[in-house]
Amino acid sequence: MNVDKVLDATGLVCPMPIVKTKQEMKGMEAGQVLEIHTTDPGAKSDLTAWAKSTGNELLELQEDGDVLKFWIKKG
């Protein structure tokens, strides 16, 4: 998958992974992909709901040990 930016939000707890994701997405163009790494288990539902409510597309979610990896395409 082509990724335009990677956001390391490991160690941050709610709501910071969403706050950081929102900041990164502001500077991106439509169609670009942001890869997010987080260790906050609540991010699984939070980032999924955030992507849907903001018109962005959650392309994939993977669990790699304690790290959740999200790929979100800017709408």
Which residues are known to be catalytic? 14
Task: Tell me the one-letter amino acid at 53.
Answer: S
Residue 38: CB atoms within 10 A of its CB come to 28
Please tell me the number of Cα atoms within 13 Å of 54 on its side-chain side. 19
7 within 8 A of 26, measured Cβ to Cβ:
no
